[in-house]
Structure 1
Amino acid sequence: MNDVDRRTLIGRGAAVAGAAVAATAVAPALLAAPAAAAPAARTPRAAGATIGPDDARYPLLTTGNNQRFVARPDYIKMITSAADAEAALEQAFKDRKRISVRSGGHCFADFAAHADTEVLLDFSPMTAVGYDERMRAFTVEPGARLLNVYETLYKGWGVAVPGGICYSVGAGGHVSGGGYGLLSRAHGLVSDHLYAVEVVVIDAQGKARTLVATREQDDPHRELWWAHTGGGGGNFGLITRFFFRSPGARGTEPADQLIKPPSTVLVSALDLPWEELNETRFTRLLKNWGAWHEEHSAPASPYRHLSSLFNVSAKAHGSLGMFTQVDAGVENAEGLLDAFLAAVLAGTGLKPRALARPNGELPAMPGLHTPRRMPWLQATRLVGTDNPTITNPTSRGAHKSGYMRKNFTDHQVAALYKHMTRADFHNPDTMLVLFSFGGQVNALAPDATANAQRSSAFKMCFQTFWSEQKDDDFYLGWARGLYEDFFARTGGVPVLDERTDGCYINYPDRDVADPERNTSGVPWQKLYYKDNYPRLQQVKKRYDPTDFFRHSLSVELPRR
């Protein structure tokens, strides 16, 4: 899962089709770059379908990956191009219809599917991935799923973006919310490689226009680019295309414009049985994992090429699961992996087993109890394409996040143990997912992009999945109880202090905006965006002056 980015902000979509776009080359540009060339024109596409309540497709398209949230729009408009988006946006504005936006993957909250939706704009038909020679950048449309992005970029040019694990996450929300994955400790966030974004915006008179905003210092729309490097989707306009070029890229060869993933990786997948755990061993295990990440979170750490995903699953599941990947091409890759595993298991007395069945974010990987080398894309497919818990399109879910700057406290581990071992809790599809963070993610200043969390050691996602609406109160109560107990010292949320660093917008949680649940006195905007929020508001004021794009945690217009 990594990210709504791991997550996109949005519902369901189609598979990706690769499409290279040819134009004239541009000269090398980056630190002292000239103004960006205009992107190459695309072949006109037919307008997308309009789907009303009587259409057989309507029930499918009114909800997303989290079945807690269902919309009842007057119609759903499938978007196929920027021109199609402009026309749909102007019509909704003219009709005074409340819109929501979906790009095609996952959404934890009600951003796309909510009760006030009158027109749902669905970008899942826009799945192309290619290369624009004029922009000297790779193009990704918002409905593209992550695995298809990886396949097209790597097979076509040998490049990648450091995106999330889960194959079915859509690019639209994943990128605009920051986006990260197993390559992020070595290469930063996905949004750190965003060169430009094509966005359809609408003015106060209801006139839509398509803008291309780049990171070039002299671009008059640079702030609009900046807002899409972690400011979240559904806030400023309709994203119709991303352009990726890594900072520092030189020359005109496409293969030199983005990062190159490892040719091969060394991977390990372990099952840690609950039957061998008591509270003492559990505490030692969690603190070992947290201490290692706190020690090795610096940008230049020799361990920046190693990332771990640790599913601390509820006792009802029967075991915990841990997946670790290290670039097999770096010096002493085997030694780095061995040292990491030894540090995590030290003093626990645990005897890891093969990961023979799915565990939370991880599919079954029974052949990796002993570390194994494999091609990077093969490992990406292995860990990301067979996960019935995360990709189940019929489930309901609760999700909460937190960035950790330092190791767990005694109270936090005790709270986690208490709630994960509750005698009345029998749901195996429940977990705290711990993600390696830091490394090159921490190389940028907090205001270099809209994603302000640049000093964390690891990231957390508290989540549980269930199937029946009648069980909502029980599972939401459990998730809230754990989260608020875990952060009891700071008012039930991860405040901005020496230990924690707020929340991740691609794991949106409406509870942090509820003063009955968040008693810290720190507003939700600060938790997600820190000191970048006022700047995001100014972007909102300029490009969405009527607050036409809004959802339950959207960027608000400044009060003056």
Structure 2
Amino acid sequence: MTVPSRRRLVAGTFTAGVAGLVGAGLKPASAAAADAPPAPGAAARTPGAADITPGDPRYEELATRGVNKRFTARPAAFRVATTTEEVVRAVGEAARSGRRVAVRSGGHCYENFVGDPAVRLVIDLGEMNAVSYDPQKRAFMVEAGARLMDVYRKLHEVWGVTLPGGASATVGIGGHVAGGGYGALSRRFGVAADHLYAVEVVVADAHGKARAVVATRKPSDPHRELWWAHAGGGGGNFGVVTRYWFRSPGATGYDPSGLLPRPPATTVSNAVLYPREGMDRAAFRRLVRNFGLWHERNSGADSPYTGLYGGLVLLSRLKENDPGQSAVSFAHVDGDRPDAERLLKRYVAAVTEGVGVTPHITEVARDPWLTATAALAESQDHEKGRQKIKSAYLRQALTDHQVDALYRHLNSGDHSSEAAHVSLQSFGGRINSLRPSATAYAHRQAVINVIFMNIWQDERADAENIGWLRHLYRDVFAATGGVPVPGRSSDGCYVNYPDLDMADADWNTSGVPWHRLYYKDNYPRLQRIKATWDPCGVFGHALGVRPA
């Protein structure tokens, strides 16, 4: 579903999990690394992966591939890998030469982990994009550079299954799944990482030797902790992910069509456009509180609404006279339910009740699931530019004080971007059926995820637009030191939306460290895994897991 609005960009906020944390800084190792043989079962490809340096006609395209135009990767060289063997060789060479390295799959990192000037080599996994069924593992193999929409299309058209990940077509699955990966089907099926059976990771041992390791979720697997860490522990912390295998827990048999979730045949959806005229502070409060309270009441794992994914996008006021919308609400419902349209209408009525303005409610649409997913992805990826993003998980509806802070900043003239917005999105449901310690993905008590985002084009407006978003976020969470401290009302931040401000004492005055916001009580275990699998500290970045 593409929702009409004054800005096509707005439709791009109707999803979750838009970006994977794909940057992994590799620091010099003290010991030399040896190249390893090809990983068992690696796809046969023509050896290549030569360095692409400035002056090569391919260099500029690789340098500008990232989505966030605030950052451009201009290392001494790019290495476009096509096999696990080539990644092992690149890591080994990096350890020997002491070159700082970063790894990229889809190029959607929101911070400068890949474009850091200290990075001398970028390993690009974009050509490692195969999707297939592995009968030996009874699981679907997906290489780390595969883009989400390509993965969904192949899984659905060949086997009739899918993964409950995000909607952006071009996000690479490598970082997306490592950070959890959630989207429109997650309330019904959990996050994408909940279906991870195995992962192939290129690691470096205490002697600096690079090798590929396959870790599974089997209790008897001696490498199981490495699997656990990659089911939500963030990208670039322990090694370079080259391949994933997916099979849902509890899935039995050998028929591939029964080993991952089957999406609904159709999706029922509509949107509600709220005019700016009449949207005063009281109306705005009511709208945002309606959305929050509905999710408090309807986000249990057994709720009939687990098949509903909705969002409320709050738009900033343009500096010019703006007759357009102040907010857009949307919802997608599992169309296979016989009561799908009734559930959708009840949801719309609950969110709009008592707001006091006359919204425009679009007609209910019923589309094939893949068609609706592709349309959502198209709107998601329409706009690119200079970006800043923040996130928060909520366990309860925002308070009136928090909503007032949103209202004040969204209606201010303190920025120059007409693409600034705050998007509240459905969470909970089956996501919360696991214990926070079941995987590294710890956010199992939230009912809403909030995305705070600004996109602009002019480099000269960086300070203005970043500053506006920082002050908005700080004021929304003023009661907890400017950040969503895990507790009664909030549940931290999403690691796939990395934000260096969480580690900056000027913007995080809570006394709660950044790693608790992203990993909660799972961080000490991640630190132990880091010490085991990256003993020389080869892998890392500005928000990377530190060994204990």
In the superposition, the TM-score normalised over structure 1's length comes to 0.89
Aligned to 2:431: 441
Larger CA deviation: 425-434 vs 499-508: 425-434
Are the counterparts in 2 of residues 268 and 324 from structure 1 also a CA contact under 8 Å?
A: yes
Large movers: runs of 4+ above 3 Å:
38-41, 390-393, 423-426
Are the counterparts in 2 of residues 45 and 81 from structure 1 also a CA contact under 8 Å?
A: no
The CA distance in 2 between the partners of 1:549 and 1:195, in whole Å, is 23
Query: What whole-Å deviation, never above 9, does each CA across 1:469-502 have from its counterpart, x for those lacking one?
Result: 2111101110010000000000000001100010
Are the counterparts in 1 of residues 415 and 464 from structure 2 also a CA contact under 8 Å?
A: no
Q: CA deviation at 1:41?
A: 4.5
SS in structure 2 opposite 1:117?
coil
Aligned with 2:222 (options 220, 226, 229): 220
Aligned to 1:333: 340
Larger CA deviation: 343-352 vs 249-258: 343-352
Larger CA deviation: 87-96 vs 107-116: 107-116
Map 1:405-416 to 2 at 5 A.
Answer: 405-416=395-406
Is residue 2:212 matched to residue 1:210?
yes
Aligned to 1:493: 483
Query: What whole-Å deviation, never above 9, does each CA across 1:451-472 have from its counterpart, x for those lacking one?
Result: 1010001001101011122111
Aligned to 2:496: 506
Aligned to 2:146: 144
Amino acid at match of 2:491: D
Aligned with 2:363 (options 366, 370, 380): 370
Aligned to 1:81: 83
Q: CA deviation at 1:519?
A: 0.3
Amino acid at match of 1:385: E
Is residue 2:507 matched to residue 1:517?
yes
Aligned to 1:466: 456
SS in structure 1 opposite 2:43?
coil
The CA distance in 2 between the partners of 1:314 and 1:464, in whole Å, is 10
The CA distance in 1 between the partners of 2:185 and 2:73, in whole Å, is 35
SS in structure 2 opposite 1:55?
coil
Aligned to 1:273: 275
Report the aligned-residue RMSD: 1.5
Aligned to 2:526: 536
Q: Which has the higher contact order (CA 8 A, sep 6+)?
A: 2
The CA distance in 1 between the partners of 2:316 and 2:54, in whole Å, is 40
Aligned to 2:237: 235
Q: 1:504 to 1:424 in 2, by over 3 A?
A: closer
Aligned with 1:7 (options 11, 16, 19): 19
Aligned to 2:63: 62
Q: 1:209 to 1:346 in 2, by over 3 A?
A: same
The CA distance in 1 between the partners of 2:198 and 2:166, in whole Å, is 20
Amino acid at match of 1:450: A
Aligned with 2:441 (options 446, 451, 454): 451
Are the counterparts in 2 of residues 70 and 115 from structure 1 also a CA contact under 8 Å?
A: no
The CA distance in 2 between the partners of 1:424 and 1:9, in whole Å, is 29
The CA distance in 1 between the partners of 2:415 and 2:19, in whole Å, is 27
Structure 2 gap ranges (5+): 1-12, 24-38
The CA distance in 2 between the partners of 1:211 and 1:536, in whole Å, is 17
Are the counterparts in 2 of residues 39 and 135 from structure 1 also a CA contact under 8 Å?
A: no
The CA distance in 2 between the partners of 1:6 and 1:402, in whole Å, is 14
Query: What whole-Å deviation, never above 9, does each CA across 1:223-264 have from its counterpart, x for those lacking one?
Result: 000000110111111111010000110100111110000011
The CA distance in 1 between the partners of 2:427 and 2:46, in whole Å, is 40
Aligned to 1:361: none
The CA distance in 1 between the partners of 2:297 and 2:113, in whole Å, is 37
SS in structure 2 opposite 1:275?
coil
Amino acid at match of 1:467: Q
The CA distance in 1 between the partners of 2:213 and 2:164, in whole Å, is 26
SS in structure 2 opposite 1:531?
helix
Amino acid at match of 2:277: E
Structure 1 gap ranges (5+): 12-37, 355-368
Q: CA deviation at 1:205?
A: 2.0
Map 1:94-113 to 2 at 5 A.
Answer: 94-113=96-115
The CA distance in 1 between the partners of 2:359 and 2:143, in whole Å, is 42
Q: 1:268 to 1:105 in 2, by over 3 A?
A: farther
Query: What whole-Å deviation, never above 9, does each CA across 1:108-147 have from its counterpart, x for those lacking one?
Result: 1112221210111110111111110001000111111111
SS in structure 2 opposite 1:287?
helix
Are the counterparts in 2 of residues 9 and 103 from structure 1 also a CA contact under 8 Å?
A: no
SS in structure 1 opposite 2:306?
coil
The CA distance in 2 between the partners of 1:248 and 1:350, in whole Å, is 48
Query: What whole-Å deviation, never above 9, does each CA across 1:269-306 have from its counterpart, x for those lacking one?
Result: 23222123111111100000000001112111111110
Query: What whole-Å deviation, never above 9, does each CA across 1:406-458 have from its counterpart, x for those lacking one?
Result: 01101100000000000344522011111100000000000001010100010
Q: CA deviation at 1:40?
A: 4.1
The CA distance in 2 between the partners of 1:44 and 1:58, in whole Å, is 22
Are the counterparts in 1 of residues 87 and 202 from structure 2 also a CA contact under 8 Å?
A: yes
SS in structure 1 opposite 2:270?
strand
Q: 1:276 to 1:543 in 2, by over 3 A?
A: same
Q: 1:352 to 1:105 in 2, by over 3 A?
A: farther
Aligned to 2:32: none
Larger CA deviation: 301-310 vs 409-418: 301-310
Aligned to 2:136: 134
Aligned with 1:290 (options 275, 283, 292): 292
SS in structure 2 opposite 1:477?
helix
Are the counterparts in 2 of residues 326 and 333 from structure 1 also a CA contact under 8 Å?
A: yes
The size of the alignment, in residue pairs, is 514
Q: CA deviation at 1:374?
A: 1.1
The CA distance in 1 between the partners of 2:44 and 2:333, in whole Å, is 41
Aligned with 1:432 (options 422, 426, 432): 422
SS in structure 2 opposite 1:532?
helix
Aligned to 1:358: none
SS in structure 2 opposite 1:276?
coil
Query: What whole-Å deviation, never above 9, does each CA across 1:18-72 have from its counterpart, x for those lacking one?
Result: xxxxxxxxxxxxxxxxxxxx97452244222421122233233235111222333
Are the counterparts in 2 of residues 405 and 498 from structure 1 also a CA contact under 8 Å?
A: yes
Aligned to 1:15: none
Q: CA deviation at 1:384?
A: 1.2
The CA distance in 2 between the partners of 1:224 and 1:279, in whole Å, is 49
Is residue 2:121 matched to residue 1:119?
yes
SS in structure 1 opposite 2:331?
strand
Aligned to 1:21: none
Aligned to 1:182: 184
Give me the identity figure in percent: 47
The CA distance in 1 between the partners of 2:415 and 2:115, in whole Å, is 29
Is residue 2:342 matched to residue 1:342?
no
Amino acid at match of 1:527: L
SS in structure 2 opposite 1:8?
coil
Aligned to 1:16: none
The CA distance in 1 between the partners of 2:462 and 2:287, in whole Å, is 31
SS in structure 2 opposite 1:402?
strand
Q: CA deviation at 1:217?
A: 0.3
Aligned to 1:48: 49
